[in-house]
Homo-oligomer: A and B are copies of this chain.
Amino acid sequence: MQRTGFAGADCPVARALDAIGDWWSLLIVRDAFDGLRRFGDFQKNLGIAKGMLTARLRKLVELGVLEQVAASDGSAYQEYVLTKKGHALFPVVVSLRQWGEANLFARGEPHSVLVDAQGERVGQLVLPSKAGRPLAWSDTKVRKVAARKR
């Protein structure tokens, strides 16, 4: 059966997952943040089937997360680069990274880490209140809109 979609949901989380919540899209975006640009680079680095990659890249371009530009090396080929909307996914990738680091590796198990320009490990993502005070989950709640179709 066709996979259920959430494109019309009121909840931004549902819409976001509908757009980029499949098995590959965020890994492609992660690789794009890592500097990968070419079809073949993504394909080799991810080990993804070419047909899948074609479909995913096309969807990400349609969504406006990636755009195709002429290759930077002067060849006749094209490259895929993050748009502004794509760059806005940075916190999503970082939050997944930080959760993974803290919860999916054994103590001492090596993994890649995110560092700043000085090579220092970055801190944890912080959710500030309007006044700038850090908020935990229990300090927040979701204000729903009047129910529509869902």
Contact = CB atoms under 8 A, between A and B. Distances in A.
* Range of interface residues on A (Cβ < 8 Å): 35 or more
A99 B91 contact: yes
B112 A122 contact: no
Q: How many copies of this kind of chain does the complex include? A: 2
Interface string A139-150: 111111110001
B127 A140 contact: no
Contacts of A146: 110
Contacts of A122: 127-130, 135, 140
Contacts of A98: 12, 91
Interface stretch (A14-22, A54-62, A71-79): A14-22
A129 B110 contact: no
